Chains A and B, each alone.
Chain A
């Protein structure tokens, strides 16, 4: 949730604009204003006014704030963050009205979204899937070469919001699907290369036919929350929400919901809490899903059999978020923001193995693991909201910390590949450093190079063959930049609006970025 929250940029420019824009009176009905909010702001600030990718905007958080200063932010946007400028897009009356409404309205209760709502939300775009082409309609050697990019679009919704698919051998765009609101996560079906699933900021899931590059079905499983996983047999999807606090297992073919789980439990401090859904992952090792209950600090293992029974692993850590798999998918490394640890979980025995130091506010962002001189090393990024800005390296066999490598700032997402010499980490600290990605030599475990990518550089990802490193120059960079993974020379750029997450279909083969396909063999 704190992924993209950045501190307010008090740029001189913004202040001087504020000075120029004199106040007027606005009186608009609260209902209308709620509509303006839901249509323009909710995808980032949360349908319940409780915040999501952006700060919470409600009577408590905005108490005593100057309406003029806030109006400036809305008009001009906040530089180098996701907050877009609404100048000319919303009328001045609407902007004043919506801010007044927000300053007077408390955070809304967690609204309901039931299994029936999910069922009713299913849209079918291609009725008869047998009419779809039986192979890709474009030339590609191997579907693993596909890289999907979540292009957010400047306003987090509208025409600019789409999932863009690129052939990572030619760096040419091969297709795109419009998602209405910002695409957030792209998952690939491990059993059938033709299907991908795109989840948006507003918890809509699009089933995409990669052969013909079109959406065949969609479903909405809640109001927001990035969690989505797919089972190893490609038959089930599990999607989790921040709002409301639940997760749903769906039939991956039809997107029909099969079961909804209310996420609540006793947190590590002994309090019963209702919980946001954190990461959800299917594993090549078994027919299960693992899901993190962020606030309850628990990991649930759901067996994909009659009734979908749950095994609960408690006291994993405070404020869990994202995770990655290792050891053939039998072990799960999960980050706990508030404990500054990554917990290693044995999915076979369904118990905690160990808790490892992970820097400051660990956000492993899908993680990376790579075999170096016979050792399997895991790499974990962290926001570094305190002074400690390091990338943690763990020996995943012994489950111990090998090194904490100092880097230039907070980091969000690491990328590794068996064939690439460097582990890439995106620096997200909010100043010029946000333009950069640092490269750590796999062997020496030192930072050896800093790339100035431009824009807000984040979400590095290697192509399936490891030859190229893809990086989003997000926010105002408006391109995905491609580097040769050995020479680190820039070789291509793919333009799109506010690109964010990059997802290689190769991940299906590697389970976790950086491992070799043999790793999955261990599970058999």
Chain B
């Protein structure tokens, strides 16, 4: 409940910000469509081999995704997934995951 309230609040605040700003709401949708399959919305499935993303440091996540995207960090799956993400996708998704507690 807290998370969603936070997200609604953030989304509300961000409506006033520039269109460049990250949208945790858009990020939540994208995360649900793509990332949650492996990483979960809040945590990966019990016993599944994927690292958790929720509640992690935003800068760390952003850097990791950009590294996957330009293949300076190597992982078959993640290179491929991040390859199709734009900067604003990354910002959105990261602003969702880093705000989940």
Residues of A within 8 A of B (CB): 12-13, 16-17, 20-21, 75-77, 79-80, 84-85, 87-89, 153-155, 158-160, 435, 454-455, 476-479, 490-493, 495, 497-498
With the chains together, A492 CA to B4 CA distance in Å?
Answer: 9
Question: Out of B36, B49, B50, B80, which one reaches A16, CB within 8 Å?
Answer: B80
With the chains together, A88 CA to B49 CA distance in Å?
Answer: 6
Q: Given known contacts A87-B49, A454-B28, is B76 in contact with A76 (CB within 8 Å)?
A: no
With a CB–CB cut-off of 8 A, which chain B residues contact A21?
A: 76
Q: Is the interface of B mostly helix, strand, loop or mixed?
A: helix
With a CB–CB cut-off of 8 A, which chain B residues contact A478?
A: 36, 40-43
A-B pairs with lowest CB-CB distance, top 8: A154-B45, A88-B49, A476-B36, A159-B46, A160-B46, A478-B41, A492-B1, A158-B47
Contact yes or no, A77 B38, CB < 8 A: yes
Q: How far is the CB of B75 from chain A (nearest CB, A)?
A: 10
With a CB–CB cut-off of 8 A, which chain A residues contact B3?
A: 493
Contact yes or no, B41 A154, CB < 8 A: no
Is B32 among interface residues, defined by CB-CB distance under 8 A?
Answer: yes
Contact yes or no, B77 A17, CB < 8 A: yes
In the assembled complex, 26 residue pairs joining A and B whose CB atoms fall closer than 8 Å, in A order, are A16-B83, A16-B84, A75-B77, A76-B38, A79-B33, A79-B34, A84-B37, A85-B37, A85-B48, A85-B50, A87-B77, A89-B49, A153-B46, A154-B46, A155-B47, A160-B45, A160-B47, A435-B32, A454-B32, A455-B32, A476-B41, A491-B1, A493-B1, A495-B42, A497-B40, A497-B46
Is B64 among interface residues, defined by CB-CB distance under 8 A?
Answer: no
Is B15 among interface residues, defined by CB-CB distance under 8 A?
Answer: no
Contact yes or no, A89 B48, CB < 8 A: yes
With the chains together, A154 CA to B83 CA distance in Å?
Answer: 26
Question: Out of A12, A153, A490, which one reaches B84, CB within 8 Å?
Answer: A12
Q: How far is the CB of B34 from chain A (nearest CB, A)?
A: 7
Q: How far is the CB of B4 from chain A (nearest CB, A)?
A: 6
Q: Is the interface of A mostly helix, strand, loop or mixed?
A: loop
Question: Out of B34, B41, B43, which one reaches A477, CB within 8 Å?
Answer: B41
Contact yes or no, A497 B81, CB < 8 A: no
With the chains together, A317 CA to B45 CA distance in Å?
Answer: 40
Contact yes or no, B80 A20, CB < 8 A: yes
Q: How far is the CB of A477 from chain B (nearest CB, A)?
A: 6
Residues of B within 8 A of A (CB): 1, 3-4, 28-29, 32-34, 36-38, 40-50, 76-77, 79-81, 83-84
With the chains together, A159 CA to B46 CA distance in Å?
Answer: 6
With the chains together, A477 CA to B36 CA distance in Å?
Answer: 8
In the complex, what residue of chain B is closest to A435 when comparing beta carbons? B32
With a CB–CB cut-off of 8 A, which chain B residues contact A435?
A: 32
Question: Out of B4, B37, B46, which one reaches A490, CB within 8 Å?
Answer: B4
Residue of A77, A85, A490 most packed against chain B (CB within 10 A): A85
With a CB–CB cut-off of 8 A, which chain B residues contact A154?
A: 40, 44-46, 48
With the chains together, A508 CA to B83 CA distance in Å?
Answer: 52
Q: How far is the CB of A276 from chain B (nearest CB, A)?
A: 29
Q: How far is the CB of B23 from chain A (nearest CB, A)?
A: 15
With the chains together, A313 CA to B77 CA distance in Å?
Answer: 54
With a CB–CB cut-off of 8 A, which chain B residues contact A479?
A: 41-42
Q: How far is the CB of A44 from chain B (nearest CB, A)?
A: 14
Q: How far is the CB of A71 from chain B (nearest CB, A)?
A: 12
Contact yes or no, B1 A476, CB < 8 A: no
With a CB–CB cut-off of 8 A, which chain A residues contact B84?
A: 12-13, 16
With a CB–CB cut-off of 8 A, which chain B residues contact A87?
A: 38, 49-50, 77
With a CB–CB cut-off of 8 A, which chain B residues contact A158?
A: 46-47
With the chains together, A477 CA to B32 CA distance in Å?
Answer: 7
Contact yes or no, A20 B34, CB < 8 A: no
In the complex, what residue of chain B is closest to A481 when comparing beta carbons? B4
With the chains together, A136 CA to B40 CA distance in Å?
Answer: 33
With the chains together, A75 CA to B41 CA distance in Å?
Answer: 19
Q: How far is the CB of A150 from chain B (nearest CB, A)?
A: 16
Residue of B28, B48, B50, B76 most packed against chain A (CB within 10 A): B48
Contact yes or no, A13 B41, CB < 8 A: no
Given contacts A88-B49, A476-B40, A493-B3, 5 further A-B contacts (CB under 8 A): A85-B38, A87-B77, A477-B32, A478-B41, A497-B40
With a CB–CB cut-off of 8 A, which chain B residues contact A77?
A: 37-38
In the complex, what residue of chain B is closest to A157 when comparing beta carbons? B47
Contact yes or no, A13 B48, CB < 8 A: no
Contact yes or no, A455 B41, CB < 8 A: yes
With a CB–CB cut-off of 8 A, which chain A residues contact B46?
A: 153-154, 158-160, 497
With the chains together, A311 CA to B33 CA distance in Å?
Answer: 49
In the complex, what residue of chain A is closest to B5 when comparing beta carbons? A490
